[in-house]
């Protein structure tokens, strides 16, 4: 968690800087798929735009699903601990109750995103303030309350080889552990999708991308240090027989306050702070998802496009907001059958979005190497080098995240990432060959 975050933050910065440079040149709600169309050249523009767009929107649907379902699981753990814990007769919600909580969260996010853009701006500012203030409180409170703290050596060098997953190589653990940091850092294309509703879009759009990644990298690492300082017994925290039912961070916070004060109420309060932050994150996910869906359907790339790109009197793409909510609900139904299948959603969210991020950058450093006209925000002579590093990083993590996460490989431990991400690629290409190539010409020019 600690070392992996620094590695990801470094290379993620290259991805963000390259995206910001392109965003400054092409500030439009279409974002990534529009950039691919403009940078790939006339011959390849339609196909590049089509594949990028579908990776982007499917990744965003999966992102909304994973964020809101994670929140539902966190709420379930908060209820469990508040009612006495798993060992004290606490209420452990069934998977159907968790799905009901998830549905309620989705509906609230849909209602918020149906409001005027000024309300969304307010929620965005609240999210930024809450994340900064929440991290500040937790970083000071948690280590100061803890009676038992992990040593610096443990925090920065310990890799859990005694994990019951058959993986004992420290290098392998560090490599596959990067998924947590990569997943935590996705979604910064939101600034690009909101540019058509933003003043001075060719500057504020790229600045939104850069600042969000820079601030989350710094605050996220400090937050992780505070959390890992109270992680002293990993097997116990992961044990499904503990009070939190194996929800490791919840158990760590709960125990920290219980050892000091005889009650875990303070730990539950910390979990509520985290839950509010996740809720505001989910709100932003639906916002970004709906704007991407609006732009993609405006260019005719989605089935029944004429329904999705309509806006209401408040100039909100109302129909596509609820399409995003509905698709996210359907995706979560996989949790009823297999938790392993649902975990593939996190993989789609992470790799799907990063592939969509990398494609326009790849075209920027290849086909548009000499023809690219930068906007107010640009990297100058460093643009090609930074973009090349970004593309190579995404290629590397794509391979890493397709590796097995347990040995021996069985149906309950199989890594479905190659199937899920490969499925998006295959389906988009099949749709292109059989149908879309005859009519889709990329983003529609209306000026």
Domain boundaries, the chain: 1-438
Alpha carbon of 132 to those of 146, 185, 266, 274: distances in Å? 22, 16, 19, 11
pLDDT, tens digit (0-9, with 9 covering 90-100), for 194-208: 787 778 888 988 999
Kindly report, residue by residue over 97-116, the tens digit of the pLDDT.
999 999 999 999 999 998 88
CA 286 to chain centre: 12
Spatial CB neighbours of 339, under 8 Å, sequence gap ≥ 6: none
Domain 1-438 has CATH 1.20.1740.10: yes
pLDDT bin (cut points 50, 70, 90) of residue 310 is confident
pLDDT tens digits, residue range 320-333? 999 999 999 998 88
Mean pLDDT of the region 38-56 = 91
CA distance linking residue 33 with residue 45, whole number of Å: 9
Per-residue pLDDT, 176: 83
The DSSP 8-state label assigned to residue 317 in this structure reads -
* pLDDT for the residue numbered 394: 93
**pLDDT mean over 361-367:** 94
Kindly report whether the global pTM for this prediction surpasses the value 0.85. yes
Rounded to an integer, the average pLDDT of 170-184 is 86
């Amino acid at each position: 968690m600690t070392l992996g975050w620094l590695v990801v933050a470094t290379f993620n910065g290259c991805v963000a800087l390259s995206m910001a440079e392109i965003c400054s040149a092409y500030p439009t709600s279409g974002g990534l798929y529009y950039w691919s169309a403009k940078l790939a050249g006339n011959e390849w523009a339609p196909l590049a735009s089509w594949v990028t767009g579908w990776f982007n929107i499917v990744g965003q649907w999966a992102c909304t699903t994973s964020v809101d379902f994670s929140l539902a699981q966190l709420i379930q753990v908060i209820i469990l601990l508040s009612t006495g814990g798993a060992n004290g007769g606490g209420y452990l919600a069934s998977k159907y109750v968790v799905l009901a909580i998830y549905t309620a969260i989705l509906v609230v996010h849909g209602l918020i995103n149906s409001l005027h853009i000024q309300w969304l701006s307010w929620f965005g500012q609240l999210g930024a303030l809450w994340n900064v203030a929440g991290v500040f409180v937790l970083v000071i409170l948690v280590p100061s309350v803890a009676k038992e703290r992990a040593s610096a050596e443990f925090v920065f060098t310990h890799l859990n080889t005694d994990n019951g997953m058959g993986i004992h190589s420290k290098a392998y653990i560090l490599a596959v552990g990067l998924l947590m940091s990569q997943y935590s850092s996705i979604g910064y294309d939101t600034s690009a999708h909101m540019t058509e509703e933003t003043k001075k879009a060719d500057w504020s759009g790229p600045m939104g991308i850069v600042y969000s990644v820079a601030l989350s990298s710094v605050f996220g690492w400090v937050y992780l240090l505070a959390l890992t300082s109270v992680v002293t017994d990993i097997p116990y925290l992961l044990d499904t027989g503990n009070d939190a039912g194996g929800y490791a961070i919840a158990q760590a916070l709960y125990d920290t306050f219980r050892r000091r004060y005889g009650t875990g109420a303070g730990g539950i309060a910390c979990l509520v702070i985290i839950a509010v932050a996740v809720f505001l994150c989910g709100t932003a996910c639906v916002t970004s998802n709906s704007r991407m869906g609006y732009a993609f359907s405006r260019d005719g790339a989605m089935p029944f496009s004429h329904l999705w790109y309509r806006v209401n009197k408040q100039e909100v793409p109302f129909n596509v907001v609820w399409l995003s909510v509905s698709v996210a609900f359907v995706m979560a139904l996989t949790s009823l059958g297999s938790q392993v299948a649902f975990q593939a959603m996190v993989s789609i969210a992470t790799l799907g979005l990063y592939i969509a991020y990398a494609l326009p950058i790849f075209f920027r450093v290849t086909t548009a190497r000499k023809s690219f006209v930068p906007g107010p925000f640009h990297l100058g002579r460093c643009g090609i080098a930074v973009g090349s590093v970004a593309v190579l990083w995404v290629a590397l993590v794509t391979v890493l995240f397709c590796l097995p996460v347990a040995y021996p490989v069985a149906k309950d431990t199989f890594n479905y990432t190659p199937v899920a991400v490969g499925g998006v690629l295959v389906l988009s290409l099949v749709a292109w060959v059989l149908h879309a190539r005859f009519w889709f010409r990329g983003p529609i020019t209306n000026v």
